[in-house]
Structure 1
C-alpha cells in the first residue's frame, strides 16, 4: 500500500522532468524534441490522476504537485517556445531584424511569456474553483500547450505552404499569443477530456472526440492539432447550449 501511495506522485515528477527536458531542447534549437517531451508530459499528466483515483490515494499533495509540474511542462515551455519563434523570425527575416528604427521589435519576443503568465493564473485558479471538478472553464493548459508546440512542427512539415508562410509572421504569432492567454482563463465551460473510468455510457463524448482526434492527426498531421483544439471548444459550446435548452 505504501508503494501505491507514491506511484501517482512519482509519475507527476516524471511529468515535471519531461518539461525540464523540453526547456533544454528549446534552448538548443531542437523544437521537435521539445514537442515530443511535452506530449510525453501530457500523457503522464493523465495517468497520475487516473492512478491516484484508482489506488484511492488522491490527496492535497498530489493536487499541488500536479499543478506545479503542469506549470513547467504546459506553462513555461510553451511561453519559451513562443519567445524562440519570435526570435527566430527576427534573426532570419530581414524585414523584422532589429535596427535603430525598429528597436521596439526587441520587446516583441518577451510577449510570448504572456502564455506562461496566463497559464500560471489558470492553474492557481483551477485548484480553488469548485466549478471545475468534473469539467473545465477556459482551455486547459495541456491543450493550449499542444497548440503552441505544434507551430514549429507545422513549419517543419511544410505540408501546407500557405499556412507555413502565415506562421512565420510575427504579427500572426502575436495574435495567437493573445488568444492563447485569453482563452486559458475565459469563462467558457468545456467538457473534461480526463476519463476517470472506462465506461462508454458516461464518457461516450470524450471517447468519440479522442477517436476523431486521432483520425484527424493521422490524416492531416500536425495541422490537425490546432483544428482539434478549436473543435474541442466548439463542441463544448454546442453541447452546453443543447443542455441548457433541454
Structure 2
C-alpha cells in the first residue's frame, strides 16, 4: 500500500522519452541526407522552386555536403526533441495537494477544493465543487500527458475521487455560435478571439484565452474544430 504521506509523481514513461530523444535526431539526419540526394536530382528538372539554394546545395564539395546535411538534419531533430520535452506534463499527487508542471510553469489545487479528477487521451482535468476546472492540461494546447492508467493509479492511491467514465458534465456543454445568449459579459468576445487563435494554431493564445474564460466561469471544450462551453457560475450569478 502507498503511504498517504508520500508524494506520487507521474510522468511519461522513460522508454518513450528515450525513444523520442534518440529517434528524432537520427530521423532528422536521414532526412537531411535524403534532401541532399534530392537536390542532386532536382537540378535537372526544368522548373523547381528555390532553384538557387538547390543548386548551391548540389555544388557543395564532398564530404562537407554530406556531413553538413547530416548535422543540420540532426539539429532539426534535436529541436523537435526539445519541443517535446517542453510539452511533457509531470503530475505530483500528495495527500493535500495536486500539482502539474510543464515547460517551466506549474499549476496547483488543494485537496479540499477537489470534487473529481478525470483524464483521457486529450486532457487531464481536476474539477472543483462548482464543476470549474481547477487544473486543466490539454493536448490541443501542447500538453503531452502521462498514461491514463498511471494517472488513475496515482490519484486513487491518495484517495482522490477518480472519475473513470470521464467528464461528468459532458451533456452540459452548448455549442458556441457568435452572439449567443447566456454567456457572462465579455465571454462572447473571448470565444471569438479564441476561435481566431485556434484557426491560426496559436496554442499559447488559445490556452491564455481558456484561462480568461475560466475566470468568468466558462469552461470550454474543443470538438471537431468547434468550441463548446458550459457555465460554472452559481445560479445567482448566471
Both proteins in one fold, TM over 0.5: no
Bigger share in strand: 2
Identify the structure with bigger relative contact order (alpha carbons < 8 Å, sequence gap 6+): 1
Whichever of the two has the greater Rg, that structure is: 2
Bigger share in helix: 1
TM-score by length of 2: 0.32
TM-score by length of 1: 0.31
